[in-house]
Structure 1
Amino acid sequence: MTRSMPIPTNDLERIHNRAFDDILPGETASLQRTLTAQDIQLFALVSGDVNPLYVDPDFAATTQFNTVFAHGMWGGALISALIGTQLPGPGSVTLGQTLKFLAPVRIGDTLTVSVTVTARDEARQLLTLACSGINQEGCVVLEGESLVHAASEHIDVHRVSLPGIELRHSADGLNRLLQACQPLEPIRMAVVHPCDEVSFEAALDARDAGLIKPILIGPRDKLHALAAKGNHDLAGFTIEDVPHSHAAALRGAEMAREGQVEALMKGSLHTDELMSAVVPSAAQLRTKRRITHCFVMQTPFYPRPFIITDAAINIAPLLADKVDIVRNAIDLAHILGVSNPHVAILAAVETVNANMPATLDAAALCKMADRGQITGAVLDGPLAFDNAISLAAARIKGIQSPVSGKADILVVPDLESGNMLAKQLEYLGGAASAGIVLGAKVPIVLTSRADSREARIASCAIAVLVAHHYRVTPP
């Protein structure tokens, strides 16, 4: 008869075994684990098994399995952990094991693995253990048998403190952007009022990277003073001498309207001041689309770059505004090489709630995509943030979504939530970012005073890609 064994309680500091003489046939132990994408990736890194069935969602979607799943030996590793920590526990050695893998374990599945003593070899102190793994639906996904040598003495030791593991994906977005721009000629960019060291040097950095031919718009004396302070040579630079930031914004918009420049870049003036020169109908820079902002971000903890929109221009967008926010972001994703981006419409919950306008907007946007009013992407929403970026979170909540875990675009409910999300990812999540404004006849680099040199160069690189696209397909 099977019975649960009275194992001494292991805690965070100590770990105990069961000596061979204390173990009887029928005793059993189990542990439970929910599979995450990180579990699969870590196992692939340790084992070297990068079979795309396990690690490439796009490839797996073309197979009979439809999605990635755990390596079979991930379940075997859980059995090893159970033997080594509970039954028999510390001091035991597995001499042999046979396992059959009967069904895949997918991200979000909860696997309960168990071992049960079926035989004892007194002479050699060997235990035969029946092994099994059952998912949350009661399906047996693995079964087999282990032959284990158990220690004869009682063992009570301190639990070894292992180093933590932090799974970081490659964050080489800037290098890839620069590589994409390498075959393209530099564009003429108006740098509007670069009258502090950060914005002034950003223009020089972008020029030195071969991205832009900068036209500096601002008070000539201030620009020469900054050049002298930083020991920079302004020979060959075009300078538009204007008295102040307001005049610089107007002149930049005028040059864009007249086709003298293909992009604008914000200098040391406030965003509102620059955009107030661009947005009015008299500036003739508007298109049929609403002007919107996109953060292009890459964090070490997410496997692909992604776009957050709108986090800088539209404060409380209505549904009609969000349509253009989504369309502009889709266009940008296409320009960046994502042919069919996955768009997550974010809200606080994943269900439609009449008292939460963001969920209603999300449902409407998805229906518009179903009817062909929004094209070029896969939309889903409302999705809470965790369900948008984590397939495991979506599975645990029973959400079937084509976007979960592989969102390329995150559409936020309003500017405040988007701005906070982007800055949290940057300052707490180690994300690299770039900012671009779309919906005007030229791309606008809209950086913050706190942005890094890399962020400014990346933003200029995106502007180059957009400007060259506009040469072929005007907005």
Structure 2
Amino acid sequence: MIRSFDEVLQKLKSLETKKVAVAVAQDEPVLEAVRDAKKNGIADAILVGHKEEIEKIADKIGMNLSDFEIIDEPNVAKASLKAVELVSTGKADMLMKGLVDTATFLRSVLNKEIGLRTGKTMSHVAVFETEKFDRLLLLTDVAFNTYPELKEKVDIIHNAASVAHALGIEKPKVAAVCAVEVVNPKMPETIDASLLAKMSDRGQIKGCVVDGPFALDNALSEEAAKHKKVTGEVAGKADVLLLPNIHAGNIMYKTLTYTTDSKNGCLLVGTTAPVVLTSRNDSHETKMYSIALAALVADNMKK
């Protein structure tokens, strides 16, 4: 079981080097992340975008472009689609969003001819390493699905579990987090949480154990769970936090990012290959860790 990003990087050294296709690569933090990923043996890259702009940024950050393949495509939509095609045809193992708006990028990902769709719900997974915990913590969905319904939540759980499995967590503990740890008919999220728990009990959700509803404290703290008499395999020991909607997820993501000494990486999953989908405001370190996570997930998908 991998417990830190240092362990992620160490694990990747024993695996075949993966390749990431970067859509619209002329972005400084993205190129810094790609440069550092190459330097640390995390992944190689194919840079798709405006070659002249890529060269200007590379010169500014001291990046040796002779180590990378560049496909010159100044048109943003065409560059995005070309990067997706590289992944769907097996020339790259994963995809990364560069200096392209999310809508254009996702249209390429969902392209009917060469896209990465699977027919299931796509979802965002953020993986955090914090000083407080002795394990990595997975949050979902903090950036993609707005108000997921029960069926979508099942797919979101399976997607997060696939990332957890790549991290060596054989049976991830998934907590369906709400404002309270009891079922309240006036709070629909608690009803969904209880249904997901029962579906898990009956084997309708595979590869993990799901319980809920949980308040955040008794999902993460064994002491809080004991104090509130919340019991079960997941109570106080959650590996994955299933957030009820994008508001809760996004606020928690940014709270951890800006108020704690933490590291994180982000992926879009539920696709035929992992997709690095980070915020424009994310640091190049976060983007590099996201590439590392994608490489680990891509390797696990091939097994």
Instruction: Report TM bin, short chain.
Output: over 0.9
Residues 1:398 and 2:229 aligned together: yes
Query: Which residue does the alignment assign to 1:344?
Result: 175
Counterparts of 2:278 and 2:55, CA distance in 1: 23
Residues 1:325 and 2:140 aligned together: no
Query: Which residue does the alignment assign to 2:103?
Result: 272
Q: Deviations over 1:415-437 (max 9, x none)?
A: 12101101101211222111011
Moved over 3 A (4+): 280-284
Q: Is the 8 A contact 1:309 1:411 kept in 2?
A: yes
Q: Secondary structure at the match of 2:66?
A: coil
Residues 1:449 and 2:280 aligned together: yes
Counterparts of 1:413 and 1:318, CA distance in 2: 9
Q: Is the 8 A contact 2:172 2:207 kept in 1?
A: yes
Q: Deviations over 1:367-399 (max 9, x none)?
A: 111111102222110101111111222222222
Counterparts of 1:236 and 1:401, CA distance in 2: 51
Query: Which residue does the alignment assign to 2:54?
Result: 223
More helix by percentage: 2
Among 378, 386, 389, which residue is 2:209 paired with?
A: 378
Q: Is the 8 A contact 1:185 1:211 kept in 2?
A: no
Counterparts of 2:221 and 2:67, CA distance in 1: 50
Counterparts of 1:174 and 1:390, CA distance in 2: 22
Among 131, 136, 139, which residue is 1:308 paired with?
A: 139
More strand by percentage: 1
Counterparts of 2:155 and 2:143, CA distance in 1: 15
Work out which structure has the larger RCO, using CA pairs closer than 8 Å and 6 or more positions apart in sequence: 2
Please list, as runs of the form range in 1=range in 2, the aligned pairs for 1:44-443 lying within 5 A after superposition. 173-443=4-274
Q: Secondary structure at the match of 2:273?
A: coil
Q: Secondary structure at the match of 2:181?
A: coil
| Higher Cα Rg, which structure | 1
Aligned-residue offset at 1:280: 4.0
Aligned-residue offset at 1:230: 2.6
Q: Secondary structure at the match of 2:302?
A: helix
Query: Which residue does the alignment assign to 1:459?
Result: 290
Q: Deviations over 1:11-51 (max 9, x none)?
A: xxxxxxxxxxxxxxxxxxxxxxxxxxxxxxxxxxxxxxxxx
Aligned-residue offset at 1:172: 7.4
**Aligned AA (2:172):** P
Q: Relative to structure 1, is the Cα distance of residues 344 and 277 closer, same or farther in structure 2, using a 3 angstrom cutoff?
A: same
**Aligned AA (1:239):** I
Counterparts of 1:256 and 1:227, CA distance in 2: 24
Q: Is the 8 A contact 1:174 1:454 kept in 2?
A: no
Q: Is the 8 A contact 2:30 2:284 kept in 1?
A: no
**Aligned AA (1:242):** E
Q: Is the 8 A contact 1:220 1:241 kept in 2?
A: yes
Aligned-residue offset at 1:288: 4.0
Q: Deviations over 1:169-202 (max 9, x none)?
A: xx97221111110111211210111212111111
Counterparts of 1:230 and 1:288, CA distance in 2: 40
Q: Is the 8 A contact 1:253 1:278 kept in 2?
A: yes
CA RMSD of aligned residues (A): 1.7
Between the aligned residues of both structures, percent identity stands at 39
**Aligned AA (1:424):** T
Q: Secondary structure at the match of 2:180?
A: coil
Q: Secondary structure at the match of 2:19?
A: strand
**Aligned AA (1:272):** A
Q: Is the 8 A contact 1:255 1:261 kept in 2?
A: yes
Q: Relative to structure 1, is the Cα distance of residues 304 and 231 closer, same or farther in structure 2, using a 3 angstrom cutoff?
A: closer
Counterparts of 1:315 and 1:283, CA distance in 2: 26
**Aligned AA (1:335):** A
**Aligned AA (2:134):** P
TM-score (norm 1): 0.61
Counterparts of 1:254 and 1:288, CA distance in 2: 18
**Aligned AA (1:425):** L
Q: Is the 8 A contact 2:25 2:99 kept in 1?
A: yes
Counterparts of 2:200 and 2:79, CA distance in 1: 40
Counterparts of 1:293 and 1:421, CA distance in 2: 14
Q: Deviations over 1:320-349 (max 9, x none)?
A: 110000011112111100111111001111
Q: Is the 8 A contact 1:366 1:380 kept in 2?
A: yes
Q: Relative to structure 1, is the Cα distance of residues 310 and 438 closer, same or farther in structure 2, using a 3 angstrom cutoff?
A: same
Q: Deviations over 1:29-86 (max 9, x none)?
A: xxxxxxxxxxxxxxxxxxxxxxxxxxxxxxxxxxxxxxxxxxxxxxxxxxxxxxxxxx
